[in-house]
Amino acid sequence: MDELTREFLIESQEGLDRMERCLTDLEERPQDAGLIGDIFRSVHTIKGTTGFLGFKRLEKLAHAGENLLGLVREGKLIANREVITGLLQLLDGLRSILKTIETEDAEGEGEDVVLIGRLEELQLPAQAAVKQLAHAKVSAQASSAAPPVPPAAEIKPKLPLAEAPAPTPDPDQGAPGTTASTQGPVTASESAPVAALSTPAEAENDPARQRAPIVGTAAESTLRVDVTLLNRMMNLVGELVLTRNQVLQATSADPNMTLLSRRLDMVTADLRESVMKARMQPVSNIFSKMPRIVRDLSQSLGRRVRLQVEGQDTELDKSLLEAIKDPLTHAVRNSLDHGIELPDVRLAAGKNPEGILKLRAAQEGSHVIIEVSDDGAGINVDRVRQKAIERGLITVERAAHLAERELLQLIFLPGFSTAAAVTNVSGRGVGMDVVRTNVEKIGGKVEIDSRTGKGTTLRMRIPLTLAIIPALIVRSVNQSFALPQGALSELVHIPPEQAATAIEWIENAPLYRLRGKLLPLVFLDRLLMPGVEHKMATERDNFIAVLDPDGRRFGLVVDGLADPEEIVVKPLSAVLKYIGLFSGATVLGNADLALILDPGSIAMKAGIAMREEGLVQAAETEVEADAAKGLEYLLVEAAGRQAAVPLTEVLRIEQLPVSRIEYIGYRPVLNFEGQLLPVEDSGGVLAAVQDNPKAQIIVVVCREGNRHVGIAVSHVLDVAAGGDLFEAGTAQRTGGVTLLKNRVTGVVDLGGVAPLPAGEQASAEWSQTVGTMA
Amino acid sequence: MEPDSGDNGMSTVAGALASTASINRKEKAVAASLVEMCTVHLGSTLFGVPITHILEIVGAARPQPVPLAPVFVGGLVHYRGDVLTTVSLRQLLNMPPKEGRQDLLVLESAGGIFGLLVDSVGEVLTVSSADHEPNPSILDERRRVLFAGAYKLKDTLLVMLDPEQLEPMRLSAARAA
C-alpha cells in the first residue's frame, strides 16, 4: 500500500469517527448547522480523495451520502430518525469498504445498490417539496461524471487535463484559501456547466480545507507516531531505568560521580514519565463509541435511554484502553438488555420512562476506575441464586450462606446467564466471565453492585500502566522471583521454630490458620522443582504471601523476601510462556534477572480450585458481617499494653532497627522514603530499647488528615472489628475506646500526634538539630 | 562446483538477501558458494554457524535458570532491553553440563531472536560448498535434524548447525512429537 493511500485511510477513519460522534449528537439537536456541516465535510472529504485514488465503489457510496447530506445542510430535509439511521448505515458501509482497502489494498467486489437506493429514497420528501431537485440531480450526475482530478498533476499525468479547464490546482493556494469553501459545493453547482468546473476545484480544495484547521493549530504541535515506536521507546526507557539503577549502585561510593549520577537519575525519571505520558490517551477514545451503540441497541430493544458520560479526560495507557474496549461494550450491552426496563414497565414502577445509563471514569491513585451504571431493574439476587444452583455452580447449602453481594459476584462465573431467552444482544452465557477475564488479564479488577429496582453498577479497576508494575521480590530455590503486588493481600512470617505448629497438615495438604480460617498453602520450591528434596519448613524461614487471584485465595510460601521494586515487565518467549507459571521476566536493580510469578496460574497448577471459592467467600462473608458492626482495627501491643489503630488509616507497617529513629529535640522522627515522619511513642517502646541500637521496632505508618504519622509499637497482633461501647446510664457512645475481641481497648488518637514545626526557618533549625542529635 | 569470481559475486547477493528476509530460501543460494562460518567449540566437536544468522556474540554469559523449562533451555539472559531465551547446545545434545564460563551467540531465525549457549566461540572461517557433505546416515535421528551436514576442513570436520532448527519453539515442538 502506498503512502498516499495509507494517509487517506487514517484521515478517513478519523473523519468517520468524528462523523459518528456528530451523528449521535445530531439526533438531540437536529437543527445544529455546525454538526451538519461537520458531517458533510467528513463525507465530502472521503469522496473528494477517493476520486483521485481511484476507489470507484467508495466514491459512489460517499457521493450518494453527500447528496442526502447536502439537502439536510440546506435545510430542505430535516435530520429525523430515519435520516440519521440512513447516515449511520452509510457510515458502516464506508467503514467496511475502508477496512477492505486496508486489508486487501482494493475496495472489494461488493455492491452497495441497496444502501445507495436507501439513501436516495430518503431524499424523496425533499425532492417532492423542493424545485431545485433537478439542479441537485444534474449536479450530482455532473460531479460523478466528471473525471477525478488529482491534487497535483504529476500523480496521474495521463489524466486528460483538457476536460478540466480550471488551471491545475495548486495545493499551496488551496490550503489557506478556505474562504472559497464557504460557498457550499451543492450551491456552487446549481448549473451544470459550472459544476463540471467546480468539481475538480472542490475535490482539491476540500481536503485542503479539511486539513487547514489542523495544519493551522494541531499539526504544528502534534505528530502521528507509530505505536510500535512508542512501545520500543518504552522498552528502551525501561532499559535506561535499569542501567541507571546499576550506575547508581556502582558509583555510590565515588564522591566525584555523585553529581553526575544524580543528574542521570533525574533525567531518567523525567524521560520515563514523558514516554509513559506519550502512551496515554483519554478514555473519551472509547467512550465516544458508546453513544452509537446505545442508540442502536435501545432502538432495537425498544428502550428509551439517555447516556451520561463523566470524566472523559481521564487518561489511560493505550494498550489498556484497547483491552477494556470489549468489556466496556459488553457491560453497556448488558445494561441495556438486562438492566433498563421497557418504557411502560418503568412508568408502571413510577420511574421516568427514559432510563439513564452512566459511564464514569476517574483516576484513583495508580488506578483508573471505570463505571457503567444504570437506573434499571437491578439484578434479582434470588434469580441469581436459583440460576447458580441450577447450573451447578454452587451447592444449595453454600448458596444459603452467601450474602447478597457475594451472590452477585457469581454472575462472573463462566457459564452464567440469567436472561430468560437468548437474545442477539446478550444472554449466551458468555458474558460477564469474559468481562472479568479480560479485565483481570490486564491486572484489573471488576465488581458489581446492584439494588433491586434501583439499578446496577459495574466497576472496573484498571492499573494506569502495564509496562511498569510494583512487585515484591521473593526468594526461592536460590533465585529471585517477582510477585506482582496487585494480587498480594498480606504477608505472614513464620520463623523455623514456629513452623512445626503453625503449619498444619491434612494428609499432604499444608494449611495455615489465618485469623481462625484455614488457608491452603503452596510451597513455591516444591512447585518449581518437584522430585527434589527440599528443606523442611522447620529448617528455614517461611514467608507466606497471601494471594487472592480470581477469588482463589491461598498462601504462597517462599524462603525469603527482598525489597519491593517497580519492575519493568518483559515478555517471555512462547516456549517459556508454555510453562504457565510465569507471566514475564524482569531485570532487577542488581542486574539479576527475575521471573514474574503469575498467581492465577500458580493457584490453578496447585489445584486451588474454583469450587473452594464458595467456601472462602462464605468465610469472608462472616468477616464482613463482623465488619459491618463497626470499624476494623489493627490490634497492636506497645510495651505490654494493647491499643487499636483504625485499619482504614493504616498505610503500611515497617520493621526497622531502632537506630533509624532520629530526634528533633526530644521528638522522635523517622526519615521515611525521603520524607520526615513524626513518630508517636506514647507506649514507651523507643525508651525501652534505647540502649540497644540493634533492636528492631515496628512503626505503623498511618494517615491522619493529609499528613502521615508513625506509631512505634512492639508487636502487631491482629486485625479485628471493633464494637461500640456505651456509657452506662447515659447510653452515649464513648469515644477513644472500642470493644475489640471482647476487651475494652484504647484507640490511638492519631490527631493528637503533634505536628512537626513548619516553615522554612523552622526546617532550617531542625536540620541543625537533627544533625547534632544524630 | 569450483569457487570462482562469479560465485563470489553471488555470495554478496546472498548476503544482501539474507539481511532483508527469507532466511530459509537464502540457505540454498549460499550452498552453491563460499560461506562464512563462525566456529563454535563444544566438547571435542567443532561446530559452525553461518554468520548471516548471528546478531551478536556475548562472552561469559550468566544465564538465569528457569524452573520447569524444557531440558534444552539454558536459561534467560538480558540482551539489549529484552529477555532472551537461550538454548544450551550441551543440554540439547544430552552432554554433561560444563563448569565455568560459557559464550553466547545471539541468533536470528524466522521464529525470532534467541540465544545459543556454547563452550566457547572461535574464529570465523570461509568455507566452500564444494567441501560440504550431507549428514552421514549413521548419525542418530535427533542430530540428523539439528545438523546441516559437515564441511571437510584440512584436519577436522566442521559440523554445520542450522539456526532455524535450533529455535526454541521448534525444538519444543520436535520434542513433543
- Flag whether pLDDT at A183 surpasses 60: no
Do A616 and A634 belong to one domain?
no
> What does the pLDDT read at residue A544?
92
* B23-37: average pLDDT: 62
Which of A184, A205, A221 terminates a domain? The answer is A221
> What does the pLDDT read at residue A166?
43
> What does the pLDDT read at residue A503?
87
> What does the pLDDT read at residue B2?
41
Do A201 and A88 belong to one domain?
yes
pLDDT in tens, A485-503: 877 888 998 888 888 888 8
Do A337 and A408 belong to one domain?
yes
Do A115 and A169 belong to one domain?
yes
pLDDT in tens, A565-598: 778 778 788 888 888 888 888 888 777 889 999 8
pLDDT in tens, B47-74: 999 999 999 998 878 888 999 888 899 9
Closest CA to A252 of A659, A244, A269: A244
Do A20 and A152 belong to one domain?
yes
Give the number of C-alpha atoms closer than 13 A to the C-alpha of residue A462, restricted to the C-beta side: 34
Those residues with Cβ within 8 angstroms of residue A398's Cβ, 6 or more apart along the chain or in another chain: A614, A615, A618
> What does the pLDDT read at residue A543?
92
Which of A278, A308, A343 terminates a domain? The answer is A278
Burial of A439 (0-12, 13-18, 19+ CB in 10 A): buried
Q: Which of B65, B70, B78 sits opposite A479 (nearest CB)?
A: B65
Banded model confidence at residue A178, pLDDT cuts 50, 70, 90? very low
- Flag whether pLDDT at A138 surpasses 90: no
Residue A625 lies in a domain: no
Burial of A42 (0-12, 13-18, 19+ CB in 10 A): buried
Q: Report how far Cα A551 is from the mean position of its chain's Cα atoms.
A: 20
pLDDT in tens, B127-172: 988 888 888 888 888 888 888 899 998 889 999 998 888 888 888 8
Q: Name the average pLDDT for chain A.
A: 74
State the smallest CA–CA distance between residue B78 and chain A in angstroms: 7
pLDDT in tens, A600-611: 888 888 877 543
Which one of A240, A528, A576 makes the best mutation probe of the B interface by having the most chain B beta carbons within 10 Å? Answer: A576
- All three cell numbers of A313, joined, read 479526560
Do A114 and A16 belong to one domain?
yes
**How many other CB atoms sit within 10 Å of the CB of residue A430?**
13
Higher pLDDT, A729 or A8: A8
Element (H, E) at A358: strand A355-364
Banded model confidence at residue B8, pLDDT cuts 50, 70, 90? very low
- A576: nearest CA partner in chain B: B69
- Flag whether pLDDT at A333 surpasses 80: yes
CB contact under 8 A, A595 and B114: no
State the smallest CA–CA distance between residue A322 and chain B in angstroms: 24
Do A10 and A110 belong to one domain?
yes
Banded model confidence at residue A49, pLDDT cuts 50, 70, 90? confident
Do A203 and A170 belong to one domain?
yes
> What does the pLDDT read at residue A481?
94
Residue A470 lies in a domain: no
- Flag whether pLDDT at A363 surpasses 50: yes
Continuous H helices in A596-694: 599-605, 612-629, 685-689
pLDDT in tens, A97-137: 888 888 877 777 777 788 888 888 877 765 544 444 444 44
Do A135 and A45 belong to one domain?
yes
Q: Give dist(CA A489, CA A440) in Å, integer.
A: 16
* A60-86: average pLDDT: 81
| B79 touching chain A per CB within 8 A | no
Burial of A231 (0-12, 13-18, 19+ CB in 10 A): middle
Question: Per mean pLDDT, which of A319-328, A397-406, A520-529, A569-578 is the most reliable?
Answer: A520-529
| B69 touching chain A per CB within 8 A | yes
- A572: nearest CA partner in chain B: B83
Which of A601, A620, A639 terminates a domain? The answer is A620
Q: Give dist(CA A528, CA A479) in Å, integer.
A: 11
CATH number at residue A638: 2.40.50.180
**Residues of B with CB below 8 A from A528's CB?**
67-68
Residue with cell 553440563: B97
Q: How many domains does chain A have?
A: 5
| A571 touching chain B per CB within 8 A | yes
**Residues of A with CB below 8 A from B168's CB?**
573-575
State the smallest CA–CA distance between residue B115 and chain A in angstroms: 11
Higher pLDDT, A284 or A249: A284
Those residues with Cβ within 8 angstroms of residue A506's Cβ, 6 or more apart along the chain or in another chain: none
Q: Give dist(CA B163, CA A317) in Å, integer.
A: 37
- B113: nearest CA partner in chain A: A573
Question: Per mean pLDDT, which of A107-116, A177-186, A466-475 is the most reliable?
Answer: A466-475
Q: Name the average pLDDT for chain B.
A: 80
**How many other CB atoms sit within 10 Å of the CB of residue A511?**
16
Do A102 and A180 belong to one domain?
yes
Amino acid at A394: I
| A575 touching chain B per CB within 8 A | yes
**What is the number of CB-based contacts under 8 A between chain A and chain B?**
65
> What does the pLDDT read at residue A339?
83
Q: Give dist(CA A179, CA A201) in Å, integer.
A: 13
- Using alpha carbons only, give the angle A309, A452, A394 rounded to the nearest 5 degrees: 110
Amino acid at A754: A
Q: Which of A572, A579, A587 sits opposite B78 (nearest CB)?
A: A587
Q: Give dist(CA A523, CA A716) in Å, integer.
A: 25
- Flag whether pLDDT at B30 surpasses 60: no
Question: Among A51-65, A208-222, A327-341, whose mean pLDDT is lowest?
Answer: A208-222
Those residues with Cβ within 8 angstroms of residue A56's Cβ, 6 or more apart along the chain or in another chain: A50, A107
Do A608 and A666 belong to one domain?
no
pLDDT in tens, A224-243: 888 888 888 877 887 787 77
CATH number at residue A429: 3.30.565.10
- A593: nearest CA partner in chain B: B64
**Residues of B with CB below 8 A from A574's CB?**
168-169
Do A369 and A246 belong to one domain?
no
Query: What Å distances lie between residue A51 and A47, A54, A524, CA to CA?
Result: 6, 5, 65
- Flag whether pLDDT at A618 surpasses 70: no
Which residues does residue A689 pair with via DSSP β-bridges, in sequence order? none
Residue A468 lies in a domain: no
Residues A409, A388 contacting (CB under 8 angstroms): no
State the smallest CA–CA distance between residue A211 and chain B in angstroms: 37
Radius of gyration in angstroms for the set of CA atoms belonging to chain A, rounded to a whole number: 33
**Residues of B with CB below 8 A from A585's CB?**
76, 83
CB contact under 8 A, A239 and B80: yes
- Flag whether pLDDT at A475 surpasses 60: yes
Which one of B62, B72, B78 makes the best mutation probe of the A interface by having the most chain A beta carbons within 10 Å? Answer: B78
Domain that holds residue A201: 3-221
Query: What Å distances lie between residue A244 and A272, A591, A608, CA to CA?
Result: 12, 10, 40
Residue A596 lies in a domain: yes
> What does the pLDDT read at residue B62?
84
State the smallest CA–CA distance between residue A588 and chain B in angstroms: 11
pLDDT in tens, A676-733: 888 888 777 777 777 777 777 888 888 877 778 888 888 888 777 776 676 676 666 6
> What does the pLDDT read at residue A774?
37
CB contact under 8 A, A570 and B82: yes
Q: What is the pTM of this model?
A: 0.51
CB contact under 8 A, B69 and A576: yes
CB contact under 8 A, A579 and B82: no
| A590 touching chain B per CB within 8 A | no
> What does the pLDDT read at residue A194?
38
Q: Report how far Cα A730 is from the mean position of its chain's Cα atoms.
A: 51
Residues B34, B129 contacting (CB under 8 angstroms): yes
- Flag whether pLDDT at A180 surpasses 80: no
Query: What Å distances lie between residue A40 and A18, A33, A215, A421, CA to CA?
Result: 11, 10, 20, 41
- Flag whether pLDDT at A389 surpasses 50: yes
Higher pLDDT, A468 or B43: B43
Question: Among A188-202, A263-277, A638-652, whose mean pLDDT is lowest?
Answer: A188-202
Which residues does residue B117 pair with via DSSP β-bridges, in sequence order? B88, B104
Beta sheet of A554-558, edge-to-edge order:
A488-494, A542-547, A554-558, A517-523, A509-514, A503-506
Instruction: Report all structural domains of chain B as residue ranges with CATH numbers, in order of start.
Output: 37-125+135-176 (2.40.50.180)
State the smallest CA–CA distance between residue B51 and chain A in angstroms: 23
Q: Give dist(CA B74, CA A413) in Å, integer.
A: 40
Q: Which of A236, A570, A579 sits opposite B83 (nearest CB)?
A: A570
> What does the pLDDT read at residue A127?
54
- A531: nearest CA partner in chain B: B68
